[in-house]
Chains A and B, each alone.
Chain A
Amino acid sequence: MKHTLSVLVENKPGVLSRIAGLFSRRGFNIDSLAVGVTDDPDISRMTITVDGKEQPIEQVTKQLHKLINVIKITDLDPHNTVARELALIKVKSAARNRGEIMQVAEIFRANILDVARNTMTLEITGTTEKIDALEKLLEPHGVVEVVRTGRIAIERSEK
């Protein structure tokens, strides 16, 4: 099962390396990682997605807690979380299929950032699945390059 860990850390040099090192040391592979400052410039948030069974995830979060620079860790409940990724996709396009690509982009609410003679670049925001789906639809045209951010996520508030 994939876990999304939302980790509040002190915004200090070396913190990312301490956290990344801990994951590899305890045998975890980080699937994706997004880091940015919070509204408090001294504090950053890392959103880390990892694969793992329930038990080892608990071990790695406990170990993470022991890092002095780690302030808070939340293992986000997928049913109660809004998660987004952003991707930039460069796809081959000639005059004949440009329209079709634009149609697909419209369905996915993707923005067209750049149109060149042989390629188009699309910007898409959404869940992992949505981005995967778009990528798949674009594949027949020839995907030149995909750049994806890590996932960021936030808990829903109580209604």
Chain B
Amino acid sequence: MLIKGSEAIVESLKANGVEAIFGLPGGVVIPLYDSLYDADIKHYLVRHEQGAAHAADGYARATGKTGVCIATSGPGATNLVTGIANAYMDSSPMVAITGQVRSGLIGTDGFQEADITGITQPIVKHSYLIKDPKDIPRVFKEAFYIASTGRPGPVVIDIPVDMQLAEIDYKQPSRVQLLGYKPTLKGHKRQIKAAAKLIAAAERPVIYAGGGIVSANAEKELRRLAKLVQAPVTTTLMGLGSYPETDKLSLGMLGMHGTGYANYAVTHSDLLIAVGARFDDRVTGKLETFAKDAKKIHIDLDPAEISKNVPIDVPIVGDAKNVLRDLLVELKKLDVDPKRTRPWIRQMNQWKKSHPLQYKDLKREIMPQFVVEEIYRVTRGKAVICTEVGQNQMWAALFYKHTNPRNFITSGGLGTMGFGFPASIGAKVGRPRETVIDIAGDGSFQMNIQELATAVNYNIPVIVAILNNGYLGMVRQWQELFWGKRYSETCIECQPDFAKVAEAYGALGMTIKDKKDVADALRTAIKARKPAVLDFRVKQEENVFPMVPAGKSITEMIGGHK
């Protein structure tokens, strides 16, 4: 069948199961957009390409499917860069399609030319520059395969405009053939046996679960493991929701802003079972003291993560779901005595009492933590929570009880302010029946505030809950604690009236200044069935506690004591 390259792209997208695309057209993707014009794939026009990348990422995290975004060449493509880097750091499956100047013009500094495969090289799982239109079906099949298998990540496909215009004999390849790409999914039998032995013998085990549980859909296996060996579970920021925080074995999050009890548990453990986590500096603090008396088992899909930061005793390379299943089989053979961790669990409960998560609630003034707790209460913990980055993110991580995977969507590795709102749009597109709330800061929200138009345009009823403290709050917190309260450029003196901005875009806008109105505002927004911005004026100089200063041991916490 002879069709145009641009039609081959659309056919390939369909063949790879794409239902939603986020993008913004430009000169060299006009042929592609022309082919999309009457295709049955829903395209969402964003107002800035960064929004497209984050929306695709949010869609991917909420659904587990690969997110797709499109931008034109040059500035369109470079506007995707932050979103691609963000997806890379958090291992989110994404295919980013960029237009490129016609192939004869490449390398001549043509109008709107940028070497996007070069620019994105350090932040992609793989990339393609299509030089022969016949390659289109193969490249798309490979791209979706690479993005979504193994350790997921973003793939860029750069397509010169003449490739979109050329006619090709279109045929979908039957399978993917990649010589150098064969992710190890099954764990090594002997290693799994060795791990099971260590687990059965441990008296103070802690499971440290990360985003790998979420992307492998291994939450059930994780629960079974915790229950079988009676080991407490702490999760990373990316792993929140992979283990229910309502369970008594849950320790919540660990690390720089982790709970006191999680940090104590890890530090005093005799066995650390890391699953789908990567020992990030925000988790470990000072490396020399991190779980220093513990043997370490590390289950991860990516061999490069093993022993990267912390030496590992028993590494197991494989998909978390597969490995945990095999591990459970081995453990059952060993007849693990669940009673042996009882003293350890008692110690845990003591730490929960002596180092509780807490804040000082006020009578009328709204505490940011209170807003997060109210969101949990009003949505009965069933909402999909997206966050921006900074204090809002940490409060959302700590004070919302996360119980389900894929219900907490946050920029972990890159820490991208402006991620949450477009990501919430993507999440809502992927899961339209669920309440999606972006817990935002007044600083972060303004970084992609233009996407209000996208949300209103397609009536994607996401709720933005701004914890408005008038500061770039996390940096202000550091300045308060470590820089002698010299608030250099962190006070946002000129701020729009967010409720009016929302209304101007056609969304619902509310300003909430009294504590007693918080729950009502949330209920009104949920019922409104249209995009809503709730401007919660919260206590201005509130800090996120506990906090471990950068480079210190994770038990050297500020705050968090009773």
From A17-25, A96-104, A121-129, A141-149, the one touching the partner chain is A17-25
| Chain A residues with CB below 8 A from B416, complex form | none
B496 CB, nearest partner CB in chain A, Å: 40
From A64-72, A110-118, A131-139, the one touching the partner chain is A64-72
| Chain B residues with CB below 8 A from A17, complex form | 118, 121
Chain B residues touching A, range: 10 to 19
Select A10's contact among B118, B129, B180, B308, beta carbons within 8 Å. Answer: B180
B37 CB, nearest partner CB in chain A, Å: 32
Which residue from chain B places its CB closest to the CB of A69 in the assembled complex? B180
Contact yes or no, A59 B304, CB < 8 A = yes
Which residue from chain A places its CB closest to the CB of B311 in the assembled complex? A55
**A10-B179 contact given A66-B304, A68-B146, CB 8 Å threshold:** yes
| Chain B residues with CB below 8 A from A67, complex form | 126, 180
| Chain B residues with CB below 8 A from A21, complex form | 121-122
| Chain B residues with CB below 8 A from A43, complex form | 179
For B118, B179, B180, the residue with the greatest tally of chain A CB atoms inside 10 Å of its CB is B180
B139 CB, nearest partner CB in chain A, Å: 12
Which residue from chain A places its CB closest to the CB of B309 in the assembled complex? A59
A89 CB, nearest partner CB in chain B, Å: 36
Contact yes or no, B179 A71, CB < 8 A = yes
Cα of A17 to Cα of B127 in the assembled complex, Å: 12
Cα of A69 to Cα of B122 in the assembled complex, Å: 14
Contact yes or no, A59 B179, CB < 8 A = no
In the complex, whether B230 has a CB less than 8 A from a CB of chain A is: no
**A59-B180 contact given A17-B118, A21-B122, A65-B303, CB 8 Å threshold:** no
Cα of A18 to Cα of B127 in the assembled complex, Å: 10
| Chain A residues with CB below 8 A from B126, complex form | 67-68
In the complex, whether B1 has a CB less than 8 A from a CB of chain A is: no
Cα of A65 to Cα of B146 in the assembled complex, Å: 14
**A68-B181 contact given A25-B122, A62-B304, CB 8 Å threshold:** yes
Complex interface bits, B177-203 against A, C-beta within 8 A gives 1, otherwise 0: 011110000000000000000000000
Contact yes or no, B122 A68, CB < 8 A = no
B185 CB, nearest partner CB in chain A, Å: 15
Complex interface bits, B128-166 against A, C-beta within 8 A gives 1, otherwise 0: 010100000000000000100000000000000000000
Cα of A17 to Cα of B122 in the assembled complex, Å: 11
B338 CB, nearest partner CB in chain A, Å: 37
Cα of A62 to Cα of B117 in the assembled complex, Å: 22
Cα of A65 to Cα of B304 in the assembled complex, Å: 9
Contact yes or no, A68 B117, CB < 8 A = no
| Chain B residues with CB below 8 A from A10, complex form | 179-180
Contact yes or no, B180 A14, CB < 8 A = no
In the complex, whether A81 has a CB less than 8 A from a CB of chain B is: no
In the complex, whether A88 has a CB less than 8 A from a CB of chain B is: no
In the complex, whether A9 has a CB less than 8 A from a CB of chain B is: yes
Cα of A65 to Cα of B183 in the assembled complex, Å: 10
| Chain B residues with CB below 8 A from A25, complex form | 122
Cα of A4 to Cα of B460 in the assembled complex, Å: 56
Which residue from chain B places its CB closest to the CB of A66 in the assembled complex? B304
Which residue from chain B places its CB closest to the CB of A55 in the assembled complex? B307
Cα of A9 to Cα of B302 in the assembled complex, Å: 20
| Cβ < 8 Å to B, chain A residues 11-42 | 13-14, 17-18, 21, 25
| Cβ < 8 Å to B, chain A residues 43-102 | 43, 58-59, 62-63, 65-72
Cα of A157 to Cα of B126 in the assembled complex, Å: 35
| Chain B residues with CB below 8 A from A63, complex form | 304
Cα of A69 to Cα of B117 in the assembled complex, Å: 15
**A62-B121 contact given A9-B180, A68-B126, CB 8 Å threshold:** no
Complex interface bits, B288-308 against A, C-beta within 8 A gives 1, otherwise 0: 000000000000001110111
A31 CB, nearest partner CB in chain B, Å: 22
Cα of A62 to Cα of B317 in the assembled complex, Å: 12
Complex interface bits, B246-267 against A, C-beta within 8 A gives 1, otherwise 0: 0000000000000000000000
B96 CB, nearest partner CB in chain A, Å: 16
List, sorted by A's number, 13 A–B pairs whose CB atoms are closer than 8 Å: A10-B179, A10-B180, A13-B129, A17-B118, A18-B121, A21-B121, A59-B304, A65-B303, A65-B304, A66-B125, A68-B125, A71-B180, A72-B180
Which 3 A-B pairs rank lowest in CB-CB distance, beginning with the nearest?
A62-B304, A71-B180, A68-B126
Other 7 A-B pairs with CB < 8 A, given A13-B131, A62-B304: A17-B118, A17-B121, A63-B304, A65-B304, A68-B181, A70-B180, A71-B179
Residues of A at under 8 Å CB distance from B?
9-10, 13-14, 17-18, 21, 25, 43, 58-59, 62-63, 65-72
